Amino acid sequence: MGLGAAAIGLTVDVQATQAAVRDLIARHDRIYAVLWGVNERDPQAVVESVLNTEAFPIDERWFGSVRLVRYVTPQQTGQTLDVDGAFTFPGGQIVLESAAISATEIEPGGALNLTLEWRADAVPPANYKITVQPLDSGGVLVTQRDAEPVAYQRPTRTWAPGEIIVDRHALLIPNDSTPAQYRLMIGFYNPDHPGERLPVSPDGDLLLLADINVHMGN
């Protein structure tokens, strides 16, 4: 669903735009945001700010100067995960303060919604990307989502020490996924050196968030 009509003219009415986007979130399971000319139409990024903090971004694609961003909207209260970890970068750490997931039981074709809260104890030296990966029992990657925090709106070099960053992600489970249990892992890496992830204690360079059971529907 395109959101161009939500930002009318060259001057955005912030409250009206926020209300229009929230209405879309309330009425739809998924949103397709077609974004173009946002520097002129929505210079404060009001549309994306609401979507990135109140819905869950799946992915984005460029078609020339037009960007398509897909979102899943929250349909249920997330369950808190009993997990913590600290990713080490030169001069400091990024700490996972809390994590919540929409479900740990899911059918192929469904979406997992993740809410992560991060805190860095120093300003990171690079704009690290987050990778979210479900792995099967043999460690084989099923799918993944890679993005900078808050759908690229809060690169890690903009983080102030001690600031809490609330970061949302949606992960689509492929339709052809084999019913099984998967390990949902998360990590950070520098996109300039994508093969080098930040180390995390105690799991190496990927942190286990949860075990996910993919099963066929009744």
Domain map (residue ranges) of the chain: 4-72, 79-214
Helix axes 46-54 and 14-27, enclosed angle (nearest 10): 40
* Beta pairing class for 207-214 and 105-106: parallel
Examine the pLDDT at 11 and tell me if it is beyond 60.
no
Q: Does residue 160 contact residue 114 with C-beta atoms inside 8 Å?
A: no
Residues making up the chain, counted from first to last: 218
As a whole number, mean pLDDT of residues 98-116 equals 95
Tokens of 172: 């689509």
Which of 71-75, 132-136, 168-172, 188-192 is least confident?
71-75
Sequence-distant (6+) residues with CB within 8 A of 217 are: 107
Is the distance from CB of 102 to CB of 113 less than 8 angstroms? Answer: yes
Averaged pLDDT, 82-110: 95
- Considering the chain, what percentage of its residues have pLDDT values greater than 70? 92
Average pLDDT over residues 3-32: 77
Tell me the pTM: 0.88
CB of 26 within 8 A of CB of 1?
no
The dihedral of CA 50, 190, 160, 205: what is its sign? positive
What is residue 2's predicted lDDT score, i.e. its pLDDT?
A: 44
The model's confidence at residue 77, banded by pLDDT at 50, 70 and 90, is low
Find, among 198, 116, 123, the residue nearest to 159 by Cα. 123
CATH number of the structural domain 79-214: 2.60.40.770
What is the reported pLDDT for 13? 84
| Percentage of residues in the chain having pLDDT higher than 90 | 78
Q: For residue range 139-169, what is the model confidence (pLDDT) as tens digits? A: 999 999 999 999 999 999 999 999 999 999 9
pLDDT attached to residue 78: 80
